[in-house]
Amino acid sequence: MKKHFLKIIILSGILLITPQVAFAYLDAGTGSQILQIGVATFIGGIFVFKAGYRKIKALLRKILFHDSKGK
């Protein structure tokens, strides 16, 4: 088992350090698509945070201030 693991590690290391040549073409729309994905991810993250903000706030108040009224 250890011999196979060692062989996989060595082979992975060799593949990572050898140069890889990629003949790729990026057209004009690729940059705008990457930008759109980034903006959508950022805005989606904001909405997710806003949706759970009250729950996070209530949890932090409960943990930090040890609300004695609820006990």
pLDDT in tens, 23-59: 878 787 888 999 999 999 999 999 888 888 888 888 8
User: Is the pLDDT reported for residue 67 higher than 70?
Assistant: no
The answer to whether residue 8 sits within a structural domain is no
pTM summary value: 0.44
What CA–CA distance (Å, rounded) separates 62 from 68? 9
Q: What is the pLDDT of residue 41?
A: 96
Cβ-proximal residues to 10 (8 Å cutoff; 6+ apart), any chain: none
The answer to whether residue 53 sits within a structural domain is yes
- Which residues constitute the domain of residue 30? 26-71
How many structural domains comprise the chain?
1
Higher pLDDT, residue 10 or 25: 10
CA distances from 2 to 5, 7, 9, 49 (A): 5, 9, 11, 45
Q: Which residues of 26-55 are buried (b: 16+ CB within 10 A; e: fewer)?
A: eeeeeeeeeeeeeeeeeeeeeeeeeeeeee
